[in-house]
């Protein structure tokens, strides 16, 4: 156990200018499931998330509300902090350090300044007149090749800004060859492959320097540029540094060395920032690169339609939890289930309240919930006790090699799918074939053996489910241990 290497997993930091959306809920739940998986496999885990609080978009939103950005971000950061209890995140598990970083934290700001100085000392930061098309929605410059009909494809309703000012630039162009070599030396750096290929192509075209500061007179809400009171750091530059500041860099190098490098989760719109820009910044600061960048697809509405406020099809993660709170004690696990099971690990997926309800009925109510009730009913009425329960199972290694193999390839969709198709499906078929509920009258010894077999396998399923549906898994384990029927159905029928 002490020999297993510490694992550091992070999400991206969402902007606090809007409520948490279902795409970020998926990202953080996947990161959480992976953190739990590694913890159960005996690793110490550091799990980082938090909020990105600087930049024009936040400054604009605070100004619109007529409040100081500090007051505005304090309020909104709390809504993101509330995700941990609401989504059942591993915030209080021994062996998992759950860290919530805000980019307005003092230590983070100091780290961003130190990081800047390192890149500057390397000769990678210079000042020049800057004239560019900028999407405030993305907080990113846009080159013509990235635009669709002259607009940002992610924010087609926002006007691009044309900006001309003197800013600091990062010599990204210095890192074209270094990144190519790094990618070649780390063939599984970006996951999945098709996203890695996008980055190889992007770097292969040759990299252009990017702006990393803003004039303070135009946008004061940022980390000050060291040695230049007229400029603040560009929000991406400051925010990316959180992945190292969250583990103590540069103040606590022992802590940093213990946890680095990192496994980073992000959405497909963040590939370039995480897999290329951030990696070049690390090289510039003489820090080792990240370990893996895992790229999620987007969640769309029915038929692949983009979720948008104007279409009224935006799915709020808290609404999903709300919709199930009267039919199950574990509504957070319902949200976790659909985000892990119903959406592919790397491609885009569709999700609507209707699809969630259908999936709930098929897989939780008629699947896992019903199977647990049937097995526990037989176990309690025939007095078959599971005697070989391994006690505290928190560090039990997962039994299924397929499940753990899929987890280690970040394919959590495949891992949980395997539990349903080959775990739950197999036990359903076993009950149908062996009919222990009939056999109990003719051959009670054999019937009880069947039930013991079912209990044993249900426990394996509960073990394997721990990273994905932690509270449900815990409850099934308890029912088996105490030889009890669920007091009420784990997943009752929706009204
Ligand atoms: Zn945009």
Mean pLDDT across the stretch 442-468? Answer: 92
CA of 101 to the centre of ligand 1 (A): 25
Q: Return the pLDDT at 2.
A: 55
Residue 139 backbone phi and psi in degrees, to 5: 55, 45
CA 140 to ligand 1 centroid distance, Å: 7
The pLDDT score that the predictor gives to residue 396 is 35
Write down the pLDDT at residue 19.
Answer: 81
Give the model's pLDDT for residue 401: 80
Per-residue pLDDT of 250-263, as tens digits, reads: 999 999 999 999 99
Q: What is the distance in A from the centroid of ligand 1 to the CA of 137?
A: 4
Following DSSP, what letter does each residue of 251-315 receive, concatenated?
A: T-HHHHHHH-S-EEEEEGGGHHIIIIIHHHHHHHTT-PPPSEEEEE--EE-GGGPPP-TTTT-PP
Q: Counting runs of H as helices and runs of E as strands, what totals does the chain give?
A: 22, 15
Rounded to the nearest angstrom, the distance between the alpha carbon of 58 and the centre of ligand 1 is 15
- Residue 144 pLDDT grade (very low, low, confident, very high; cuts 50, 70, 90): confident
pLDDT-based confidence at residue 411 (cuts at 50, 70, 90):
very high
Q: What is the pLDDT of residue 386?
A: 80
Separation of alpha carbons 92 and 36, rounded Å: 11
Separation of CA 147 and ligand 1 centre (Å):
9
- pLDDT tens for 193-245 read 999 999 999 999 999 999 999 889 888 999 999 999 999 999 999 999 999 99
Residue 478's pLDDT is: 96
d(CA 451, CA 258): 46
Q: How far is the CA of 158 from the centre of ligand 1 (A)?
A: 8
Distance 56 CA to ligand 1 centre (A): 13
Centroid of chain to Cα 278 = 18
Average pLDDT over residues 273-281: 98
Mean pLDDT along residues 465-469? 96
- How far is the centre of ligand 1, averaged over its atoms, from the C-alpha of 27 (Å)? 20
pLDDT tens-digit readout, 428-438? 999 999 999 99
Distance 139 CA to ligand 1 centre (A): 7
Which percentage of the chain shows pLDDT scores above 70?
97
Percent of the chain with pLDDT over 90: 81
Q: Distance from the CA of 220 to the center of ligand 1, in angstroms?
A: 21
Task: Give the tokens for residue 242.
Answer: 């959180």
- CA–centroid distance, 477 to ligand 1, in Å, is 46
Tell me how far the alpha carbon of residue 157 lies from the centroid of ligand 1, in angstroms: 9
Distance 146 CA to ligand 1 centre (A): 10
In the chain, what are the domains?
A: 353-482 (1.10.730.10)
**Cα 155 to middle of ligand 1, angstroms:** 4
Cα of 178 vs centre of ligand 1, distance in Å, is: 28
Please check the confidence at residue 398 and state whether its pLDDT lies above 80: no
Of 211, 306, 261, the C-alpha closest to 9 is 261
Q: So what's the pLDDT on residue 471? A: 97
Q: What is the average pLDDT across 276-287?
A: 98
- Which residues in 71-101 are b (16+ Cβ under 10 Å) and which e? ebbeebbeebeebbebbbbbbebebbbbbbb
Round to whole Å and give the CA distance between 412 and 414. Answer: 5
| Minimum mean pLDDT range among 92-96, 313-317, 387-391 | 387-391
For 34, 114, 343, 404, the CA distances from 410, given in Å and listed in that order, are 8, 33, 13, 10
* DSSP line for 204-258: HT----EE-EEETTT---SPEETTEEEEEE-HHHHHHTHHHHTTTTTT-HHHHHH
Compute the mean pLDDT over every residue in the chain, rounded to the nearest whole number: 93
Q: How far is the CA of 156 from the centre of ligand 1 (A)?
A: 7
pLDDT confidence tier of residue 132, bands split at 50, 70 and 90: confident
Per DSSP, the three-state class of 50 is: strand
Mean pLDDT, range 490-495, rounded to an integer = 97
Q: Tell me the CA–centroid distance for residue 490 and ligand 1, in Å.
A: 43
Taking 60 as the threshold, does the pLDDT of residue 476 lie above it? yes
Q: Residue 56: which pLDDT band, with cuts at 50, 70 and 90?
A: confident
Q: Which of 9-18, 58-67, 361-370 has the highest mean pLDDT?
A: 361-370
- Which whole number is the average pLDDT over 79-102? 94
Q: In angstroms, what is the span from residue 236 Cα to ligand 1's centroid?
A: 14
Report the alpha-carbon distance of residue 238 to residue 108 in Å, rounded. Answer: 8
- Which pLDDT score, from 0 to 100, does residue 389 have? 43
Structural contact between residues 484 and 380, judged by C-beta atoms closer than 8 angstroms: yes
Which residues, in sequence order, are CB contacts of 347 under 8 Å at separation 6+? 297
Q: For residue 388, name the pLDDT band (cuts at 50, 70, 90).
A: low
Confidence check: pLDDT of 76 > 70: yes
Q: How far is the CA of 242 from the centre of ligand 1 (A)?
A: 22
Under the banding of pLDDT at 50, 70 and 90, the label for residue 391 is very low
- Find the 150 Cα to ligand 1 centroid distance in Å: 12
Q: Does the pLDDT value for residue 390 go beyond 60? A: no
Mean pLDDT of 434-460: 93
């Amino acid at each position: 156990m002490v020999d297993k290497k510490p694992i550091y997993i992070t999400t991206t930091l969402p902007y606090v200018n809007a409520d948490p959306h279902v795409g970020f809920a998926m990202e953080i739940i996947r990161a959480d499931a992976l953190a739990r998986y590694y913890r159960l496999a005996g690793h110490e885990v550091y799990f980082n998330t938090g909020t990105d609080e600087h930049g024009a978009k936040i400054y604009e939103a605070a100004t619109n509300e007529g409040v100081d950005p500090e007051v505005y971000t304090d309020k909104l950061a709390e809504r993101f902090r509330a995700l941990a209890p609401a989504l059942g995140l591993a915030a209080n598990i021994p062996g998992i350090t759950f860290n919530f970083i805000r980019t307005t934290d003092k230590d983070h700001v100091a780290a961003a300044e130190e990081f800047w100085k390192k890149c500057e000392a390397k000769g990678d930061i210079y000042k020049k007149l800057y004239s560019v098309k900028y999407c405030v929605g993305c907080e990113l410059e846009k080159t013509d090749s990235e635009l669709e009909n002259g607009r940002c494809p992610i924010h087609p309703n926002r006007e691009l800004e044309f900006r001309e000012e003197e800013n600091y630039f990062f010599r990204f162009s210095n890192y074209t060859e270094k990144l190519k070599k790094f990618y070649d030396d780390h063939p599984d750096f970006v996951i999945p492959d098709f996203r890695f290929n996008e980055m190889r192509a992007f770097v292969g075209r040759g990299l252009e320097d990017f702006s990393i500061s803003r004039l303070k007179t135009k946008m004061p809400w940022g980390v000050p540029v060291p040695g230049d009171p007229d400029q603040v750091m560009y929000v991406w530059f400051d925010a990316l540094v959180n992945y190292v500041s969250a583990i103590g860099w540069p103040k606590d190098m022992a802590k940093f060395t213990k946890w680095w490098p990192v496994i980073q989760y992000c959405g497909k719109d963040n590939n370039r920032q995480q897999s290329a820009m951030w990696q070049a910044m690390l090289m510039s600061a003489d820090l080792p690169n990240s370990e893996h960048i895992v790229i999620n697809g987007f969640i769309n509405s029915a038929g692949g339609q983009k979720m948008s406020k104007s279409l009224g099809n935006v799915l709020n993660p808290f609404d999903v939890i709300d919709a199930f709170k009267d039919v199950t004690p574990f509504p957070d696990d319902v949200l976790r289930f659909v985000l892990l099971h119903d959406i592919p690990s790397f491609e885009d997926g569709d999700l609507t309240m209707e699809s969630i309800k259908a999936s709930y009925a098929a897989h939780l109510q008629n699947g896992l919930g019903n199977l647990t009730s049937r097995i526990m009913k037989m176990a309690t009425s025939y007095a078959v006790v599971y005697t070989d329960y391994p006690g505290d199972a928190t560090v039990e290694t997962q039994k299924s090699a397929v499940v753990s193999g899929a987890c280690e390839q970040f394919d959590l969709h495949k891992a949980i799918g395997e539990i349903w198709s080959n775990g739950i499906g197999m036990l359903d078929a076993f009950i149908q074939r062996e009919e222990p509920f009939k056999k109990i009258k003719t051959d009670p010894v054999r019937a009880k053996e069947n039930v013991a077999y079912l209990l044993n396998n249900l426990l394996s399923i509960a073990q394997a489910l721990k990273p994905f549906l932690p509270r449900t898994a815990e409850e099934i384990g308890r029912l088996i241990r105490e030889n009890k029927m669920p007091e009420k159905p784990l997943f009752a029928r929706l009204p």
